[in-house]
Amino acid sequence: MSTAVLNRKSTQALDEKIRQGKAFLRDLREALEALEDRRDLAAAKKRNAGKPGTPWREAAKELGID
């Protein structure tokens, strides 16, 4: 087998590992963002505990949902 063929196979294998690594990092980033969202929601619930909520009709009006 020639050196060119070996280099091409090595490059292809490396490219595949890079693609896999990038996919893993994307998944990890999404998981971390979801965890941050859950943390923020828990903090908001704790902060607003016992406070009256906003009626749906009022919230929908503020958001432009009819």
> How large is the average pLDDT for residues 1-24?
87
Q: pLDDT for 41-66, tens place per residue?
A: 999 999 999 999 999 999 999 999 97
Provide the pLDDT confidence category of residue 6 given band limits of 50, 70 and 90.
low
State the pLDDT at residue 3.
74
Q: Residues with Cβ < 8 Å from 22, sequence gap 6 or more?
A: none
pTM across the whole model:
0.63
- As a whole number, the mean pLDDT across the chain is 93
Provide the pLDDT confidence category of residue 1 given band limits of 50, 70 and 90.
low
